Structure 1
Amino acid sequence: MNIKVFCDFDGTITKNDVGDLFFETFGDRNYYSSLVVKWRDYEISSKEMWEKIAEKVKVDYVEAEKLILSQEIDIYFIDFVKWARENEIEVFILSDGFDFYIKRILDKYGLFDVKFFSNKLWIEDRKVKVDFPYPDSVCRICGNCKRNHMLTLSGDDDIIVYIGDGYSDRCPAEYADVVFGKKELLKYCRAKNIPVYEFETFKDVMEQFERFLSGRKRLRKRWQAELKRREVFMRE
């Protein structure tokens, strides 16, 4: 049994949503909040949201880095990565946020070699520039299509696990065999009858995985998720 773990970053690995904090601190907080609501309700794509929000940001590079490096992660995530490697389980980070802060935070905690896929952000003359290298050609809701990464990086026999907390995690949760959720993702899964394990920290995730690997809890593919994955490949 081969397991692939895909994990959100903001609010899942980090204690705060760093993207929210960055744009609210250096941009227009009210404008940001209004666009997030439109994105949440599928009125605009996250790409459109981020591009509009970025236009309102003025920030010094040093100030930005200081804010980012002050952010903390769930300390159990470090243990989880180590545990996963010891058990030959691959872990990937999928984020609809930005590499500018993800890389710095991972480096801060010595997690240099955890592979992540995200949108791109850089600062030029106090202005924020953004780019989206991983869109989906059909679905334009997310700037970084987490579902496509999951399907590309997984084989037919793999058990796909997704861990998340927010609105950008709604789509990939539909395609995962096992879902760990909190906050908005937990609500979404329960509303959509998607089986979900509630968690607060990665200690909870590790404890549940131990039940899987010891045989106390059966780990298997989810039929509805398999059907949705097949539909994607049939469309292509």
Structure 2
Amino acid sequence: MSKPVIFCDFDGTVTNNDNIIAIMKKFNPPGWESVKDDILAQRVSIKDGVAKMFTLLPSSKKDDIISYVLEQAQIRDGFSEFVAYAKKQDIALYIVSGGIDFFVYPLLESFGPFAGVYCNEADFSGETININFPHRCDDECTSQGCGCCKPSIIRELLENGAKSIVIGDSITDLEAAKRADLVIARDFLIEKCEELGLSYEPFENFRDVTSIIDARLGVKL
């Protein structure tokens, strides 16, 4: 049996808090909270909502924003050991994030290398921050507004017969969770899984995640 492949979210999963929300709360541009509520209620797409929130922030605050997000971010307990476990078990571990390159890459740097890291990109060249989305939805995606489209990335990377493990916490992980062989969830993703009748395993830290996956190895996912 082929090894499973892990697709792990970043904001609110690898880190304790959602870094985009932390930025918005700190710099508090008018109107950001209503956009956030629209994203969670699925009234606007993730792509459009994230892009709109960042256009509320002036590019002149680039250095302050980057310094703040890197200072406040905390890595969830057990993540380093989990990365080592995946490497020891020869399980591909991809970080697939709706977060932004200016904080995702620096915060992951000391833990890698990973099988791959996928995230969105910030452009500070204009008056306000523009977000680029290099990992867009493929033709099979039913959402067509993911931003960083996790189901499309999974379809691209998953080899025939391999099982997918999705680890996440929020609305950005929902479409991937619908298609995963094993969902390991916390916070808002648990609410959505229960609402839709999706099977999941709950976690609080990455020691939990390691135990869940270890128990499943050798067992059909």
> TM-score, normalised on structure 2?
0.90
Residue 38 of structure 1 aligns with an amino acid whose one-letter code is D
**3-state DSSP of counterpart to 2:135:** coil
Match of residue 116 from structure 1 = 117
Seen in structure 2, the aligned counterparts of structure 1 residues 90 and 151 have a Cα distance that, compared at 3 Å, is same
Q: Percent identity?
A: 25
1:136-151 correspondence runs (5 A): 136-138=137-139, 139-151=143-155
CA RMSD of aligned residues (A): 1.8
Instruction: Return the match for 2:91 from 56, 81, 89.
Output: 89
Deviation track 1:34-90 (CA, whole Å, cap 9, x = no partner) reads 112222222222222122222210253331222122111113111111110100000
Partners of 2:98 and 2:148 within 8 A in 1:
yes
Residue 52 of structure 1 aligns with an amino acid whose one-letter code is K
Deviation track 1:196-220 (CA, whole Å, cap 9, x = no partner) reads 001100100111222223x5xx332
**3-state DSSP of counterpart to 2:31:** helix
Seen in structure 2, the aligned counterparts of structure 1 residues 6 and 137 have a Cα distance that, compared at 3 Å, is closer
Match of residue 135 from structure 2 = 134
Residue 158 of structure 1 aligns with an amino acid whose one-letter code is A
Partner Cα distance (1:203, 1:40) in 2: 28
Partner Cα distance (2:130, 2:112) in 1: 24
Partners of 1:147 and 1:175 within 8 A in 2:
yes
> 1:124: how far off?
3.3
Please list every run of 5 or more consecutive structure 2 residues that lacks an aligned counterpart in the other structure.
Answer: none
Instruction: Return the match for 1:171 from 155, 171, 175.
Output: 175
Match of residue 20 from structure 1 = 21
Partner Cα distance (2:197, 2:167) in 1: 17
Shift >6 Å, 4+ stretches:
none
Partner Cα distance (1:72, 1:118) in 2: 18
**3-state DSSP of counterpart to 1:127:** coil
> TM-score, normalised on structure 1?
0.84
* Corresponding pairs, count: 214
Match of residue 78 from structure 1 = 80
Partners of 2:174 and 2:189 within 8 A in 1:
yes
Instruction: Return the match for 2:200 from 177, 186, 196.
Output: 196
Partner Cα distance (1:148, 1:155) in 2: 13
Partners of 2:150 and 2:176 within 8 A in 1:
yes
Partner Cα distance (2:173, 2:184) in 1: 11
Partner Cα distance (1:197, 1:87) in 2: 20
